[in-house]
Structure 1
Amino acid sequence: MSEREFEVLPEGISAETFAKAVAEFEAVLGAGNVISDEERLTPYFKTMMPVDDDLYKTSCVIQATTVEQVQAVVKICNTYEIPVWTISTGRNFGYGTAAPAKRGTVVLDLKHMNKIIAVDRDLGTALVEPGVTYQQLFDYLQENDLPFYLSCPAPSAIAGPVGNTMDRGVGYTPYGEHFMMQCGMEVVLANGEVLRTGMGGVEGNSAWQVFKWGYGPYLDGIFTQSNFGICTKMGFWLMPKPPVYKPFCVIYDNEEDIAEIVDLFRPLRLNGVIPNSVVYASTIYEAAGIISRRKYFDGEGFTPHEVIEEIREKEGLGAWNVYAALYGTKEQVEVNWNIVKATVEGHGKGRIITEEEAGGKQPFQYRADLMRGYMTMQEFGLYRWRDDRGAGGGSMWFAPVTVNKGSETLDQTRLATEILNKHGFDYAGEYIVGMRDLHHIIDVLFDKSDEEETQRAYECFDELLTEFANRGYAVYRVNNAFMDKVAGIYGETQREINRTLKRALDPKGILAPGKSGITI
């Protein structure tokens, strides 16, 4: 076995030691679930980041199907001090895809752990394994006539609720703050033991998916965006399907109006008139879902302002396109709709479009589907924006968080556009309203096949992080290439607390080394 060859080895691990570990993986999982040939490994380290993919090569991929197998894998990794990076549906586009943070790390793929364990029709709770996709859960709800909406991220069909929630992703329904709607985890710790958080630690308890806190310190949060354990089950709440659903869009023609728009809609969100995550989408962000920019511009660098204005005029888009929805009984929706209309019309700058008026036209229909939890892949149109002939392949989500105030929104938009244009890239951004916060989501799109452009993209993203941090803004998620930098932005005290937890829970540092900049 010691003569077995591997393209890449984990750091500090000899070929002989790694071969022994792989043999034990095969004994537990079956040889077919241990992948080491380069062709099959490539999808696991092919990234959209502006770095050499070789930096993220995995030594092998192992596929578990039960929590007991995950426990066995962790114990093997502890014995041989093999680092292991866990993924579920493994499509984390723009945030590093499936690649581990450190070259040579074994990837533990949980996509085959895809059981929908329970859905409670009366309480609207679900318990699922990490390989369950939103599409799978959506189909399950439809097939069993269960009256619930899902809240899912934009590329919903192939994403999964466990992976998205573990990275604290967001959706577009009233349940769009996904970690807020999570309730109960099963976690395999680095020593192979299983922890059930909240009420799950009590044998036979029926409240695991309804009461988040349990007894003593609340632990679920420390397992999100961390490398302290492997989540093998997660509970969460489903939104009851309302009798009436009314999506709408408000179009604004002036880029400078973003400050007024945010302040206009904030009271409606805070007061619950609009219960879901309001979206303020820029021209390019919306256009990318329906066209390639080659339709209007085939030049180098960023899209000129006059071209963006032409796109707005001919594609029926605004400088800012506001999307929200109303949910409830006919009476509730009617009252709230009158409030929304009066607010927008009183302001005098926006044009309201309803679903009936849109008549199935894109991108309205995509947004309307998203806000009721329908499955969609349209956001991947962003990757065709630069060139629908296939050039590109590079994407990084830059996601700073700010307060729900117009003044800061205007400052962030100007700063981001200035930095992106300086490096030859477009501002393709949108704001997603939480409760009192705004997620500013920007896709830095570039051609990874072009070495010079890839270097510019790296420098651009680095400057975005630096300049935003200098003004007190920080991202809430980031791709693998910049995890250490972002961890530094959040300060040494937080890093040391994370190290302390890491040393206590994973003293050999085997779980996802480098995740979120956390080391022992």
Structure 2
Amino acid sequence: MTTAREVAHIPDGVTKEAFLAALARFEAIVGAHNVLTGEERLTPYYKTMMPADDTDYATSAVLQPTSTEQVQAIVKVCNEFGVPVWPTSTGRNFGYGTYAQGTAKGHRHQVVIDFRHMNRILEVDAELGTALLEPGVTYQQLVDYLEANDIPLWVSCPAPSAIASPVGNTLDRGVGYTPYGEHFMMQCGMEVVLANGDVLRTAMGGVEGSNSWQVFKWGFGPYLDGIFTQSNFGIVTKMGLWLMPKPPAYKPFYIRFPDDEDITAIVDMMRPLRMANIIPNAVVFAHALWEAPAVIPRSKYYDGKGAMPKDAIERMKTEEGFGAWNVYAALYGTPEQVEVNWKIVTDAVKRLGKGEIFTEAELGGKEPFNYRAALMRGGMNLQEFGLYRWRGGGGSMWFAPVTVAKGSETLTQTKLATEILNKWGFDYCGEYIVGMRDMHHVIDLLFDKTDEEDTKNAHACMSELIEEFRKRGYAVYRTNNAFMDQVADCYGPVQRRINQTLKRALDPNGIIAPGKSGIGA
């Protein structure tokens, strides 16, 4: 039986007596060893990289279920006692949230459901290239499974991939770097525990005896899977994914461009190749200040206050061999297909009249090419965590506005972001990830969280970035917990009202992740 002495925090709006009674019920469901309380055991769950006081995101308890049935029982108890719960897959969403995504702004002391024990790979169909996973499965675990069973399928993963969850990343509409890199597009079928304890199997999963749950996305009637991404309408306990057949040939390449202004021509050169599927994966345009942290410390070229000066950046580029923009992409298919497409790519670069192109023959084994080449075939790595060593101090926020894949957009966005970041003393550490017709402009706002002034400036900088980009018609597609309301406002009052209507219909007591994505009860 849990005692009052073990409870460090009580959820907002819940009495101590009710919470202790709920904890006793949780212990009966998952076992006492899978109910974590007390400051020492909970602190890791609200370690944040945001410019906020970690105690504002403190957790009341952590539950570690082992089955869908246990999750059903948990939400029923939560409804009975009014206890809010925040589900997390593997709890490693560093730049877009807290360590374990433990709460949202204004909704303190929620209980975390940690899915680390629900980590089964339930099925992989080698012929159809499908997988059915629980949320605690990591990318590394899935890759290891495929390799151990000699299954010739590739996994698409985000950059710091090994410890992340395919289910969690897909639910947050994350992206990867293979031709299957639009992760939600490659998702097929969900099992969702609703707030009342019912279990929904979307699309063909609702048909008893169906064998097509992981192959046909739509089923009959309204398509529901989308409403459970970036939302708090239910708790996903299983998800189907499509995996990419290993191609006979793979050719990663790198193009180095010397000047900041080159970005316009680069995008306009690459977009037709991407749209025609000559280059079938997302093309990355990494700025020099995104490349550098993977291989060198900032102090090698600048160790002062404020943003890194232009002359220091230019010296770094020259001495380290970075381009102002560093382009990564790959070709896939038969050797014959790759040869034909390679000529198309190299001819396009020649017509542009600028840019040096390299392959594994010249750069194999060298960083950062090596980890980029691995990413584009689904290889596991943690190389981009080098970003967090750039300034030190443990502060990081991802700012990721979306725009159209046109070169004219890049100069506007890059200039605006750089001006705002530099104004507050921060570097422009950014890259563009180009899809079929869109671009994700991903910027890591790196700051020293141990410095009070730096932390205050980081908060002001992020708020200004969101607002100034909104004024120009840009908005981010993901954000961390501290800025969810501000980002939700960018999308207008009608969308917010619809989300709230859905929330009230599916979760009338508001127990699942209240406040997530700006969606209240």
2:25 and 2:188 map into 1 onto residues whose CA distance is 34
2:212 is equivalent to residue 202 of structure 1: no
Q: For residue 2 of structure 1, report the CA deviation from its aligned partner.
A: 9.1
2:401 is equivalent to residue 400 of structure 1: yes
Residue type of the alignment partner of 1:416? A
Is contact 1:3–1:16 with CA below 8 Å preserved after alignment?
A: no
Which residue matches 1:276?
A: 281
2:176 and 2:222 map into 1 onto residues whose CA distance is 27
Deviations 1:84-123 (A, max 9, x none): 0000100000111212112110001011100000000110
Deviations 1:135-160 (A, max 9, x none): 00000000111011110000010001
Which residue matches 1:4?
A: 4
Which residue matches 1:357?
A: 362
Q: For residue 3 of structure 1, report the CA deviation from its aligned partner.
A: 6.2
Which residue matches 1:474?
A: 475
Is contact 2:176–2:183 with CA below 8 Å preserved after alignment?
A: yes
1:14 and 1:443 map into 2 onto residues whose CA distance is 40
1:359 and 1:119 map into 2 onto residues whose CA distance is 32
Q: For residue 489 of structure 1, report the CA deviation from its aligned partner.
A: 1.0
Counterparts of 1:280-429 in structure 2, within 5 Å, are: 280-386=285-391, 391-429=392-430
Q: Give secondary structure in 2 for the equivalent of 1:440.
A: strand
2:17 and 2:44 map into 1 onto residues whose CA distance is 26
Residue type of the alignment partner of 1:446? F
Q: Give secondary structure in 2 for the equivalent of 1:27.
A: helix
Q: Give secondary structure in 2 for the equivalent of 1:286.
A: helix
Q: Give secondary structure in 1 for the equivalent of 2:4.
A: coil
1:207 and 1:467 map into 2 onto residues whose CA distance is 46
Is contact 1:2–1:15 with CA below 8 Å preserved after alignment?
A: no
Which residue matches 2:121?
A: 116
Which residue matches 2:168?
A: 163
1:432 and 1:493 map into 2 onto residues whose CA distance is 29
1:356 and 1:65 map into 2 onto residues whose CA distance is 47
Q: TM-score, normalised by structure 2?
A: 0.98
2:484 and 2:51 map into 1 onto residues whose CA distance is 14
2:499 and 2:512 map into 1 onto residues whose CA distance is 13
Q: For residue 404 of structure 1, report the CA deviation from its aligned partner.
A: 0.2
Residue type of the alignment partner of 1:244? A
Is contact 2:265–2:352 with CA below 8 Å preserved after alignment?
A: no
2:66 is equivalent to residue 100 of structure 1: no
Which residue matches 2:177?
A: 172
Q: CA RMSD in A?
A: 0.8
1:304 and 1:35 map into 2 onto residues whose CA distance is 47
Q: For residue 310 of structure 1, report the CA deviation from its aligned partner.
A: 1.1
Which residue matches 1:59?
A: 60
Is contact 2:160–2:383 with CA below 8 Å preserved after alignment?
A: yes
Which residue matches 1:223?
A: 228
1:203 and 1:90 map into 2 onto residues whose CA distance is 33
Which residue matches 1:455?
A: 456
Deviations 1:23-70 (A, max 9, x none): 000011111100001111001111000011111101111100100000
Residue type of the alignment partner of 1:489? C
1:298 and 1:516 map into 2 onto residues whose CA distance is 37
Q: Give secondary structure in 2 for the equivalent of 1:438.
A: strand
Which residue matches 1:23?
A: 24
Q: TM-score, normalised by structure 1?
A: 0.98
Is contact 2:402–2:441 with CA below 8 Å preserved after alignment?
A: yes
Is contact 1:183–1:235 with CA below 8 Å preserved after alignment?
A: yes
Is contact 1:269–1:435 with CA below 8 Å preserved after alignment?
A: yes
Is contact 1:26–1:33 with CA below 8 Å preserved after alignment?
A: yes
Deviations 1:445-501 (A, max 9, x none): 000000011000000000000000000000000000000111111110000000110
1:487 and 1:164 map into 2 onto residues whose CA distance is 20
2:153 is equivalent to residue 152 of structure 1: no
1:40 and 1:345 map into 2 onto residues whose CA distance is 58
2:515 and 2:122 map into 1 onto residues whose CA distance is 32
Residue type of the alignment partner of 2:454? E
The 1:3/1:276 distance shift into structure 2, 3 A limit, reads: closer
1:187 and 1:452 map into 2 onto residues whose CA distance is 43
Residue type of the alignment partner of 2:51? P
Is contact 1:2–1:16 with CA below 8 Å preserved after alignment?
A: no
Deviations 1:283-325 (A, max 9, x none): 0101110111111111111111111111111111100000000
2:173 and 2:3 map into 1 onto residues whose CA distance is 43
2:435 and 2:2 map into 1 onto residues whose CA distance is 53
Deviations 1:163-208 (A, max 9, x none): 0000000000000000000000000000001000010001110000
Q: Give secondary structure in 2 for the equivalent of 1:413.
A: helix
Q: Give secondary structure in 2 for the equivalent of 1:171.
A: coil
2:128 and 2:79 map into 1 onto residues whose CA distance is 40
Identity %: 68
2:141 and 2:411 map into 1 onto residues whose CA distance is 39
2:19 is equivalent to residue 14 of structure 1: no
Q: For residue 326 of structure 1, report the CA deviation from its aligned partner.
A: 0.1
Q: Where does structure 1 differ by over 2 angstroms across 4 or more consecutive aligned residues?
A: none
Is contact 1:502–1:518 with CA below 8 Å preserved after alignment?
A: yes
The 1:381/1:201 distance shift into structure 2, 3 A limit, reads: same
2:511 is equivalent to residue 513 of structure 1: no
Residue type of the alignment partner of 1:438? M
Q: Give secondary structure in 1 for the equivalent of 2:426.
A: coil
Gaps of 5+ in 1: none
Q: For residue 359 of structure 1, report the CA deviation from its aligned partner.
A: 2.8
1:434 and 1:171 map into 2 onto residues whose CA distance is 10
Which residue matches 2:268?
A: 263
